[in-house]
Each structure stands twice: as C-alpha cells, then as structure tokens.
Structure 1
Amino acid sequence: MTSTEADDTPVPFDYAGLAKPDRAWLHRAAAELRVRLRHSVQEVLAPGQVLARARKRLGRGRWEPWLSAEAQVPRRTASRLLAVHKVFGAADPNVLKHVTPTALYALSEPGVPQSLREYAVEQARDGAAVTRASCGCGSRCTAPALSPR
C-alpha cells in the first residue's frame, strides 16, 4: 500500500498487469516485510537496553574503549540505540509495533519535542502506521503537537 499526498490513508497497490505468480509472491513478500519490520522494532530496543546496562557497569572512562574493542559498535550507533531505549524503552510493545525503526530513531533525536513523541505514540496506539515520513521528523519537526488535555 502507498499513501496519498494529502494524508496517510493507505491506497491499495495496483497489481494489474503482473503475472499471477508475481502477484502471489509480492503479497507474501509484503506480509513478510510487515512481520520483520515489527520484529526489528524490538531489535532496536533490546540492544539499547543492553548498552545502557553496560555503560552503567563500565562508567565513563571505560565505556568507549569497551564499545569499540568488545562490542564493536560505532559510538554514533550506540548513541542512537541508547536514545531509542531512553525515549521508548518503557512504551507498550503492542503500540510500538505500529512504529517503524526509522521513525523511532528520528523521534529519539535530541531536540525533538516531547509533544511530537507523544503524538506519534498516540497515533500508533490508534493503529496508525508511524513512519519517518509521517512522524514529521526530518531536518525539522512538522507534525502537530498534542493539544493540552
């Protein structure tokens, strides 16, 4: 499915003109991708939790050498995984299954308003797919903030 420009309403993909075996394969591939992307959200959160625990045990002076030598994780990658864990680690996994990993990374960046994060979680709780494009996080945040309740 794709989205319209005006909103994020899914528009069915037109399989007309494709051979029947190709249509069947593409339907299965799309279903597999949706499942794998849901799993990859957990695969983004879990390493962040492990890294947070390791950093706490190692302390400031030993963290980066361990990260490089033992974990073999670039510092920027570790920072992003830690940020996702910090921002979304306590969120309901059933809600986060509607949020793509790239949206989690974007929403976890420094400077993203908390109201934007809350709005994305609210959208996901309502069953809407939250992607990097729909979350409003690019070079600047454009998604609407939550109105005070």
Structure 2
Amino acid sequence: MSLDVETPEPPELETDTDPNAYDDVDVSGANDTHRDDLDAFLREGAWDEAFAEWAAQSDLDESEWAIVLDLDLLSRFDFFWDDFADRVGYHAPGLPEDWKERDLHPDLDSWSTVSAINAELTELGRIVSERLKADYVDWDADYEAPDDLPDF
C-alpha cells in the first residue's frame, strides 16, 4: 500500500529540549545534540526524501493521515544526535492511551486506527533518522570508551 499525499513541512527542532525527557528515549552522557544541524538537514532535503520513502510503503489511508494533520502530530517529532550510540535518535509523537476519554478527534474511533497511526509515525521517525545518519551527518561520535574496559 502507499499513501499519496503532499509532503508536509518538516518539524522545527527545539534546541533546548532534553531527549531524556521522553519516555521512549535514553541518551547516555552529556553531548551536543546537533539539533541546529539536523534541522538544517531536514530542510535541505532529508525530510522530503525520507517522507517519500515512508509514504511509498505506508499502510495509513487518507482518513488516518487527515487525523495526523488535524492533530498537528508531525510538529511534535524530535530528532537529535546521540553521540554515545553514534546515531541520530528520534522521538515520534503518538496518540495517548486515553484518546477516547479525551475525545481527541471526531474521526478517531478505534484502537486499530490509533495503533496504525502510532506505528506509522514511529516508522516515519526511523526512516528519517536513518536517512539523516546515512546521507547528511558528516561528523563522528566524540565518545571514547574508557581504557579500563575488560577484554572479551
């Protein structure tokens, strides 16, 4: 399946957000998250390229995509450099477990829709993260392992 929609604008990355504040992220050590650089890369084409790749294989339909846009979920993506892991980390937005009680959207009516949206946004984050690392990031990790690690 594929999703035939216009590529939205990339999210604006906040430079003062601590990646460890997210429940789904664990970044070890103090490091430069390179958000300014990553934000520039997203605008230089990484977002467009990754979004096209994702949309070509996405299982979302247009009504589910409309929910994503109506709730402005894409603006809540975050991408950051994880020096310890030598990767571009990400936080994907998602719909909360209490979506029904909160009456988030009139067309949001089933757990399967919520699950599909959350899974697809996570997949979009993964693809963007991998595209940034593979084709845009030109710095190496500064983390150096301590000399006293045991030999295996």
Instruction: Give the TM-score taking structure 2 as reference length.
Output: 0.26
Q: Which of structures 1 and 2 has the bigger CA Rg?
A: 1
Answer 1 or 2: which has greater helix percent: 1
